[in-house]
A and B are shown apart, each in its own frame.
Chain A
Amino acid sequence: MTTRRQFLILAGGAAVSGAVEAQLPPNIEALRKAALAEAVRKVTGDAQVRRGKVKLDLPPLIDNGNTVPLSVDVESPMTSADHVRAIHVFTEKNPQPYVISAHLGPRAGRARISTRARIADTGTVLAIAQMSDGSFWSDSVNVVVTLSACLEDGLI
């Protein structure tokens, strides 16, 4: 049973750490943006991320946010000298920003992955490709997430 004191500390601490808390903080938009920026920074360091070479494919209008098919395709000869090292996918509006990090290499033949993500809310999905020469390229898509009609008993 959390005391009021414990709850306040939790809420205060959570606002700083971005951890899951009992109530959503009023500045959640800013927190999530910051979490996304931090996640991207962890992957790219201080390197510049340029738009291009990457094609993020997912439906602009999503049937159900629980399972969203997406694929990332990166232009690359995939040779030892010039290939995609990794593909990272992030979301803007989820409780945490990471989706998947795929590690490829010249043996992949083609820099393309397909998977299915959970996307909580209408917003941006971001894909970043890390190249063998240390450069970073990206693509982003804005998606609209609708709610399903007629859910299970007990759910809103």
Chain B
Amino acid sequence: MSVRVLRLFLLLALACAARAEIPLAERRSGYEDMGRETRAMQDDDATNPATLWVLDGESLWQRKEGAAARACADCHRDARDSMKGVAARHPAFDAATGKLLNLEQRINGCRVERQQAKPFAYESRELLALTVFVARQSRGMPIAVESSERTKPFLEAGRATFRRRQGQLNLACVQCHDERAGRRLAGTVIPQAHPTGYPIYRLEWQGLGSLHRRMRNCMAGIRAEPYALGAPEFVELEMFLMWRARGMRLETPGVRP
């Protein structure tokens, strides 16, 4: 077979293997790619290890903090009411600053401005506990981040990152998570990568962690220099991923391999 024909054949094969954005109806949460027993771990609050952090978050919600000696509960009362739907619509546009803020940044913003306390470090136990406690209040609700003129630049930036080849392996997110989702990588099913359960209890970490931490693992996987936790690139990517998962139900706290 001539080289030219071979190249054509290869291109054709690649074109068939690759596919565009996942159709909305065909989206599946990473939950469905896990074994029965791991799913059971997530389903039962009594045995979901993330419950340990949710309870810590519940305590923190009540704790008076900072120079203002104010607890979250002092302004927001019962989180089950006031925080319902909040996680489902974050990251969100902050009109005051013109910035895009994710849930962790929103919580820290409140700490600094309203409680006059120091912000919690990203991925600290306290921030994870509060975030999972707040996000838990949106469990079962459809993901619904704002897609409008003012969020468009962030969504576009996030989409560009999702499609950009990076790292020594020169891979883009889209190649695994859009084009090859459902197939296997070293024995594990490649998920479509919808952030439906964050913060998650990742079995690999044997602990609770944020979406940014998980994405740092992805970037380490393709041998790219990972963005810093809380970096604007990550928040934009998070925004895009949440938009890509629009309508899917939030499962926080999720359990994932």
Which of A's residues lie within 8 Å of B, judged by CB?
Answer: 58-59, 61-64, 66-69, 116, 144, 146-153
Contacts and interface: CB of A to CB of B under 8 A. Distances in A.
A61 B36 CA distance: 10
B41 interface: yes
B206 interface: yes
Nearest to A114: B47
A148 B205 CA distance: 11
B221 A150 contact: yes
Contact of B38 (A69, A146, A148, A151): A69
A67 B204 CA distance: 8
B70 interface: no
B186 A63 contact: no
Interface string B173-212: 0000000000001111010000000000001111000000
B232 interface: no
Contacts of B60: none
Contacts of A69: 37-38, 40-41
Interface in B27-57: 34-38, 40-41
B218 A63 contact: no
A116 B35 CA distance: 14
Contacts of B205: 152
Instruction: Give the interface SS of chain A, mostly helix, strand, loop or mixed.
Output: loop
20 contacts: A63-B38, A63-B188, A63-B203, A64-B203, A67-B206, A69-B37, A69-B38, A69-B41, A147-B186, A147-B188, A148-B203, A148-B204, A149-B221, A150-B218, A150-B220, A151-B220, A151-B221, A152-B216, A152-B220, A153-B217
Nearest to B36: A59
B36 to A, nearest CB: 7
Most buried by B among A63, A66, A116, A151: A63
Nearest to B215: A150
B257 interface: yes
A69 B203 CA distance: 11
B188 A146 contact: yes
